[in-house]
């Protein structure tokens, strides 16, 4: 065995090859963003790769916020072309994009996703209102005209109709789009139903935001990570706990868990589609118009995503748990994708 | 010889015989306690080994019991008519373009409709019927026709993959006694399945595609091959970079470098680096390899370099201790015979230290094989369908594939996850086996 510098030289050569590789143009769409949209975007990407001559897009699941941050870093092949989001782009993010030269963005809404509070089949279905949920999960709640640390330990203390079990809810962490949507759709609405907080909303908006935005930290609300499958497993093991996750996971695990009825509506496909189930949010993706024509297949990918066979009423995305947009809306976004209509907030 | 150290207490128990060797009286009970202590220690040791063994067994048992079923896939034999109208409309020579673009899914659907004519009227029911087989079934048919165009116009019995839900049901993971609303597979689908089964059309086959295709969002189509190739490419880069640099650094530090405060500082820093959390290397990789050098995102090249950074300290530390363990007499003998210092190291010390160096390298590589955190930052945690062909193609690695499948909503991915873990463990065992073989080859006695 002799060791020479030969090997080291070979490594250096490898390095040089690597440096030249970057000059190569990218011929593959790169997508980042929401973990909620990920299961849908990946199906579309796979079908797109299968049925067209283009390469299958590469999709990373980075969370809505993380995706937009990467997306807004600039124009050029080293930056992603599309980002998925389980909420609408924020004004601050549009500004960040603009400051990096990303000024032309097309917004496409692809459908809805219901957020469910589910528990194991072994225990009975909860019938909740958003006010109940707020009172159970907020860090501070009003008692006798002032805000105190949440004193409730059992559901029956909040509402005598609810079961006499300990409050225990597993939910997503703050980095998740599901958490943002849950706070906005459940906690904020629930808080507004309490007269004291409604007054607070008028007098001190920031304080109100802080009240409905803070989840309790005394172990009643448990951040269970981004993995919804894990939450389902934990619910099976612990029948008294509730879990917060997207409808597609309820759909796939209907034999193990059932969703709580919220304000009289059970989370079913039809109830979410017609809007009677109150906790649902829109799913989006954003496309960098400057990359159209530079990266092959951008327009065709958007066409596939908004096509009838994908996002339509009977499209393959509905098999994966996406709640489709009404016909007219889908048509609108299909046209936006064709004409690269610039985003307006 | 007389006893001169008589104890002040006076008489010994057996004093009458005048034994010249005097034992202190307390040895007896003390000895028993020492033996007992040793027995306890051995028992504890044995118990620890047993505990570790049981835990390992439980872990492997749960993985294997959940995952073995992923290696089978249920198929249904359908009589597919390769319609000449669709595949060769003008009746002339067969055109490849037409074959590529033809709608094969309709042929599968026609076959299903012929099998269950009563389901063909209602739209909802038709969708359900089509859902019996994999939505990607058309690819297999396309490849069949491309390979053998003489099939056109004939009717063949073809084994078509069942969809993930039906496959899961056929494997017995869905309880048919549950109320209909509580299961993914409805009564109607079960009756179809039972009908097909009674006709002998349903059978389980070895899931070859699991080992030959890349990722897919359809569990029945998803394969581990893309991630396996990604792991091999990534680890190749890691090994090519970290092994020579690590061994060179260790050899220099151990054999050539002067011992002073500066080299001490380097040593301390290398030891600290070995304990740095791996995500930090990912951030470093993002800043240096991607943002500064502009390497492509998600590429095994960038991933391999990041993992090489992470592995380097392990290799250096292991190599240094292996070099230290070579007796100085070897070096002195070689020097005495007139060898230069370079010759001493390359001809004698390094070959003798090689088994130890290889052990360290394999430990480092095994760590690198299991890492996902540093790869997250450089975009290797991604959904990638195409199998990577080169070091710059987008790729993912085995542990990432495990993570992505564990995170997927479809039930059928549960077994795929465990199966992927088995492949990962198999790969690890293979790596270790190679290391043992190499070590055996290089082992020398002195």
Range list of β-strands (E), A250-335: 257-259, 261-262, 280-288
d(CA A334, CA B382): 26
Residues 155-194 of A with CB under 8 A from B: none
d(CA B156, CA B143): 14
Picking from A14, A251, A314, the nearest residue to B127 by CB comes out as: A314
Q: List Cβ neighbours of A274 (8 Å cut-off, separation of 6 or more).
A: none
| Residue A60 pLDDT exceeds 70 | yes
| Residue B113 pLDDT exceeds 50 | yes
Q: Where in chain B is the domain with CATH 1.10.3720.10?
A: 225-442
B382 touches chain A (CB under 8 A): yes
Average pLDDT over chain B, rounded to an integer: 87
For the entire predicted model, the pTM comes to 0.81
Q: Which domains does chain A have, with CATH numbers?
A: 28-112+282-339 (3.40.190.10), 114-280 (3.40.190.10)
A19 touches chain B (CB under 8 A): yes
Cα dist from A210 to A12, A136, A194, A205, A216, whole Å: 55, 16, 15, 9, 12
Q: What is the mean pLDDT of residues B221-226?
A: 93
Of residues B163, B67, B374, the one with CA closest to residue A316: B163
d(CA A147, CA A196): 9
Q: Which residue has the tokens 């009227």?
A: B121
Cα dist from B174 to A122, B130, B184, whole Å: 17, 20, 8
d(CA B111, CA B4): 109
At B417 the pLDDT is 94
At B442 the pLDDT is 78
Tell me the two tokens of residue A239: 């029948």
At B21 the pLDDT is 73
Residues 142-181 of B with CB under 8 A from A: 174-175, 178, 181
* Best CATH choice for the domain B225-442 from the list 3.40.50.10490, 1.10.3720.10, 3.30.499.10, 2.60.120.10: 1.10.3720.10
At B26 the pLDDT is 60
Tell me the two tokens of residue B410: 């479809």
d(CA B343, CA A209): 73
d(CA A143, CA B38): 64
At B4 the pLDDT is 46
d(CA A16, CA A18): 5
Classify residue A186 by its DSSP letter. Answer: I
Cα dist from B344 to B255, B256, B320, whole Å: 10, 11, 16
For a pLDDT cut of 90, what percent of chain B falls above it?
46
Residues 254-293 of B with CB under 8 A from A: 290, 293
How does strand A280-288 pair with strand B72-81?
A: unpaired
Q: List Cβ neighbours of A86 (8 Å cut-off, separation of 6 or more).
A: A34, A36, A37, A64, A113, A177, A178, A180, A181, A281, A283, A284
Residues B378 and B298 sit within 8 Å (Cβ to Cβ)? yes
Residues A40 and A282 sit within 8 Å (Cβ to Cβ)? no
- A111 or A177, greater pLDDT: A111
| Residue A1 pLDDT exceeds 70 | no
Residue A245 with chain B: CB contacts under 8 Å:
none
Q: How confident is the model at residue B119 (pLDDT cuts 50, 70, 90)?
A: confident
In terms of CA atoms, which chain B residue is nearest residue A25? B296
| Residue B338 pLDDT exceeds 90 | yes
Residues 94-133 of B with CB under 8 A from A: 127, 131
Measured in angstroms, the CA of A38 and the nearest CA of chain B are apart by 9
In chain B, the largest separation of any two C-alpha atoms, in whole Å, equals 124
Q: List Cβ neighbours of A80 (8 Å cut-off, separation of 6 or more).
A: A30, A31, A32, A60, A67, A70, A71, A288
**Long-range contacts for A209-212 (Cβ within 8 Å, ≥24 apart)?**
A211/A138, A211/A139, A211/A140, A211/A147, A212/A134, A212/A138, A212/A183, A212/A187, A212/A188
The region of weakest confidence among B28-37, B322-331, B384-393 is B28-37
Q: Which tens digit of pLDDT belongs to each residue from B3-15? A: 444 444 444 444 4
Q: What is the mean pLDDT of residues B162-173?
A: 89
d(CA B422, CA B68): 9
Q: What is the mean pLDDT of residues B264-289?
A: 91
Q: H/E element holding B75?
A: strand B72-81
Average pLDDT over chain A, rounded to an integer: 85
At A6 the pLDDT is 53
CA angle A250, A254, A255 (to 5 degrees): 145
At A270 the pLDDT is 84
Measured in angstroms, the CA of A150 and the nearest CA of chain B are apart by 33
**Per-residue exposure over A9-40, b if at least 16 CB sit within 10 Å of its own CB, e if not:** eebeebeeebeebbeeebebbbbbbbbbbbbb
φ, ψ (nearest 5 deg) of residue A235: -65, -40
d(CA B373, CA B383): 16
| Residue A177 pLDDT exceeds 60 | yes
**How many contacts, defined by CB atoms under 8 Å, are there between A and B?**
122
d(CA B420, CA B428): 12
At A41 the pLDDT is 94
């Amino acid at each position: 065995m002799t060791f020479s510098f030969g090997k080291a030289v070979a490594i250096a050569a490898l390095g040089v090859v690597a440096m030249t590789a970057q000059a190569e143009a990218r011929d593959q769409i790169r997508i980042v963003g929401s973990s909620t949209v990920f299961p849908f975007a990946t199906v579309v990407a796979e079908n797109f790769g299968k049925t067209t001559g283009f390469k299958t897009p590469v999709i990373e699941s980075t969370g809505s916020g993380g995706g937009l941050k990467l997306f807004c870093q600039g124009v050029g092949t080293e930056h992603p072309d599309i980002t998925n989001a389980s909420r609408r782009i924020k004004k601050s993010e549009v500004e960040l994009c603009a400051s990096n030269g990303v000024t032309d963005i097309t917004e496409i809404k692809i459908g809805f996703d219901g957020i469910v509070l589910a528990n194991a089949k072994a225990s009975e279905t909860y019938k909740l209102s958003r006010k109940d949920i707020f009172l159970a999960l907020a860090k501070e709640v009003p008692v006798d005209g002032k805000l105190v640390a949440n004193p409730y330990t059992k559901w029956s203390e909040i509402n005598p109709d609810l079961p006499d079990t300990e409050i225990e809810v597993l939910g997503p962490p703050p980095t998740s789009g599901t958490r943002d949507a849950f706070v906005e759709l459940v906690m904020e609405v629930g808080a507004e139903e309490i007269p004291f907080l409604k007054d607070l909303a008028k007098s001190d908006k920031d304080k109100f935001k802080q009240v409905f935005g803070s989840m309790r930290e005394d172990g009643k609300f448990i951040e269970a990570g981004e993995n919804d499958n894990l939450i389902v497993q934990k619910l099976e093991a612990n029948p008294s706990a509730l879990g917060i996750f997207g409808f597609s996971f309820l759909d796939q695990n209907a034999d193990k868990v059932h969703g709580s009825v919220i304000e009289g509506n059970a989370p079913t496909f039809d109830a979410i589609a017609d809007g009677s189930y109150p906790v649902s949010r829109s799913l989006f993706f954003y496309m960098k118009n400057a990359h159209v024509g530079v990266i092959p297949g951008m327009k065709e990918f958007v066409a596939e995503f908004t096509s009838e066979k994908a996002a339509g009423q009977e499209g393959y995305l509905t098999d994966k748990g996406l709640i489709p947009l009404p016909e007219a809306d889908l048509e609108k976004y299909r046209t936006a994708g064709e004409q690269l209509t610039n985003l307006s907030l | 010889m007389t006893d001169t150290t008589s104890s002040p207490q006076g008489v010994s128990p057996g004093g009458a015989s005048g034994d010249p060797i005097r034992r202190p009286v307390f040895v007896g009970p003390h000895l028993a306690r020492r033996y007992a202590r040793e027995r306890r220690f051995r028992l504890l040791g044995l118990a620890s080994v047993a505990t570790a063994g049981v835990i390992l067994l439980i872990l492997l048992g749960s993985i294997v019991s959940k995952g073995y079923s992923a290696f089978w896939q249920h198929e249904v034999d359908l009589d597919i008519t390769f319609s000449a109208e669709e595949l060769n409309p003008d009746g002339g020579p067969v055109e490849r373009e037409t074959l590529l673009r033809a709608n094969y899914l309709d042929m599968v659907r026609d076959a299903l409709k012929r099998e269950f004519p009563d389901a063909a009227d209602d739209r909802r029911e038709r969708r359900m019927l089509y859902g019996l087989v994999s939505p990607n079934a058309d690819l297999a048919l396309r490849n069949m026709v491309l390979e053998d165009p003489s099939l056109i116009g004939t009717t063949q019995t073809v084994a078509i993959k069942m969809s993930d839900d039906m496959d899961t049901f056929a494997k017995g993971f869905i309880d048919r006694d549950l109320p209909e609303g509580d299961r993914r597979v409805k009564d109607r689908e079960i009756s179809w399945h039972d009908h097909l089964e009674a006709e002998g059309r349903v059978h389980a086959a070895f899931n070859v595609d699991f080992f030959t295709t890349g990722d897919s969002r359809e569990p029945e189509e998803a394969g581990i091959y893309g991630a396996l190739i990604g792991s091999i490419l990534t680890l190749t880069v890691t090994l090519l970079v970290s092994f020579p640099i690590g061994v060179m650094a260790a050899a220099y530090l151990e054999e050539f470098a002067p011992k002073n405060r500066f080299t001490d500082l380097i040593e301390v820093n290398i030891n600290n680096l070995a304990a740095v959390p791996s995500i930090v290397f990912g951030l470093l990789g993002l800043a240096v390899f991607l943002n500064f050098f502009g390497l492509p995102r998600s590429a095994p090249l960038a991933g391999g370099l990041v993992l090489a950074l992470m592995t380097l300290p392990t290799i250096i530390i292991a190599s240094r201790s292996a070099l230290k363990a070579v007796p100085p007499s070897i070096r002195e003998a070689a020097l005495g015979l007139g060898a230069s210092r370079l010759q001493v190291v390359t001809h004698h010390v390094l070959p003798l230290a090689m088994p130890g160096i290889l052990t360290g390298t394999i430990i480092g590589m095994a760590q690198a094989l299991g890492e996902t955190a540093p790869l997250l930052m450089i975009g290797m945690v991604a959904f990638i369908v195409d199998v990577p062909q080169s070091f710059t193609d987008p790729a993912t690695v085995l542990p990432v594939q495990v993570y992505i499948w564990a995170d997927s909503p479809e039930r059928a991915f549960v077994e795929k996850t465990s199966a992927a873990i088995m492949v990962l463990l198999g790969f690890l065992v293979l790596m270790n086996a190679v290391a043992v073989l190499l070590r055996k080859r290089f082992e020398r006695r002195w």
